[in-house]
Amino acid sequence: MITINGTHKAQSIIPHLWFATQAREAVSFYCSLLPDSRIEHVTTLRGTPSGECEVVSFKLAGQPFMAISAGPYFTFNPSISFFLNFDPSRDAEARAALDATWEKLAEGGQALMPLDAYPFSQRYGWIQDRYGLSWQLILSNPEGEPRPCVIPSLLFTAENCGKAEEAGAFYRSVFPGAKAGEIARYPADLPPNHEGTLMFSDFRLGATWFAAMDSAFDHGFGFNEALSFVVPCRDQAEIDTYWEALSAVPEAEQCGWCKDRYGISWQIVPGELNEMLRDDDPAAMDRVTQALLGMKKLDLAALRTARG
């Protein structure tokens, strides 16, 4: 395990959603679905290659998220989706809440797996909403170890199929204090999936739980930049360490973004970047934006100098 500056306080990894123009509209919709959800801040970045970009910071059932409207360059697909756990041990009306949330997501959306009873859950469904983002709604087993309401889920397909277990171990080696969770393997009688690969697994990175699974079906999609994960860092040393561990595709390095060996995109940023991009002085915010746009791995000292 990588140790960064000795002790490490668990932090949340932040899912980042890329929209063409609909970030604020989509986020308002998502925040209407679940308790403890709200928009926290909206800012506009100017002078980017996409022109003016609206950035929305929000929480969904307590999980920090970000979204950006930055042009029609990337499209969501089900390779990264979000589990929504409805836990009867926490909410006596969990099943009703699940059904109501499904109905809202179904408006203009498309069911990928119908809402029904399955061997692993009395109530489960997988749905792609009107904006293309995918959600897996599940009635949790109240006897199991509790999990957060919202969990990003990674589906390893095509050339990545069979690598979910390896990827989980790799990510746990990168993030201090990570924890392995549940694991379930495919049996021999569920082709085309290969016996022993992961039907389901989960693990915690920092304060954020992830799920990961393999699928050998010909889905025709894989990981892309529409959904990335922001890692807020305390200092340059932490930025350097995460960048070295995660960046595996040099041509994908830009503005603090990198792509790992499995094709998943990460944003390795200083924790104070949000404050810099919310500056009351628009000129200072523009200077930071322009400095950031010229970088691959972010240089915290240079960003501070640009802010002034």
Is residue 224 domain-resident? no
**Averaged pLDDT for residues 239-252:** 98
- Residue where a domain terminates, one of 159, 185, 214: 214
Is residue 2 domain-resident? no
pLDDT at 115: 98
Which value, in Å, is the radius of gyration of the alpha carbons in the chain? 19
Indicate if 210 and 283 belong to the same structural domain. Answer: no
Indicate if 167 and 254 belong to the same structural domain. Answer: no
Q: Is the pLDDT of residue 202 over 70?
A: yes
| pLDDT tens per residue across span 256-292 | 999 999 999 999 999 999 999 998 899 999 999 999 9
Element (H, E) at 101: helix 94-106
Is residue 8 domain-resident? no
- Residue where a domain terminates, one of 214, 241, 268: 214
pLDDT at 11: 82
Residue with tokens 């002034």: 308
Indicate if 68 and 137 belong to the same structural domain. Answer: no
Q: Output the CA angle 21-24-30, nearest 5 degrees.
A: 120
- State the pTM of this model: 0.95
Is residue 3 domain-resident? no
Is residue 219 domain-resident? no
pLDDT at 9: 57
Indicate if 195 and 274 belong to the same structural domain. Answer: no
- Residue where a domain terminates, one of 151, 181, 214: 214
Is residue 203 domain-resident? yes
Indicate if 114 and 71 belong to the same structural domain. Answer: no
| pLDDT tens per residue across span 2-50 | 333 334 457 899 999 999 999 999 999 999 999 999 999 999 999 999 9
CATH value at residue 57: 3.10.180.10
Count of structural domains, the chain: 2
Indicate if 69 and 107 belong to the same structural domain. Answer: no
Indicate if 61 and 39 belong to the same structural domain. Answer: yes
**Averaged pLDDT for residues 196-204:** 98
Rounded distance between C-alpha atoms, residue 86 and residue 196, angstroms: 28
Confidence band for 141, pLDDT divided at 50, 70 and 90: confident
Indicate if 97 and 193 belong to the same structural domain. Answer: yes
| pLDDT tens per residue across span 62-80 | 999 999 999 999 999 999 9
Indicate if 187 and 142 belong to the same structural domain. Answer: yes
Indicate if 135 and 207 belong to the same structural domain. Answer: yes
Is residue 292 domain-resident? yes
**Averaged pLDDT for residues 212-234:** 97
Taking alpha carbons only, the member of 292, 279, 294, 271 closest to residue 14 is 271
Q: Are 186 and 193 in contact (CB under 8 A)?
A: yes
- Look up the domain containing 249 and give its range: 14-75+229-307
| pLDDT tens per residue across span 150-175 | 999 999 999 999 999 999 999 999 99
Joined together, the tokens standing for residue 173 give 């080696």
Indicate if 132 and 255 belong to the same structural domain. Answer: no
Is residue 1 domain-resident? no
pLDDT at 3: 34
CATH value at residue 196: 3.30.720.110
Indicate if 234 and 207 belong to the same structural domain. Answer: no
Choose between 297 and 145: higher pLDDT.
Answer: 297
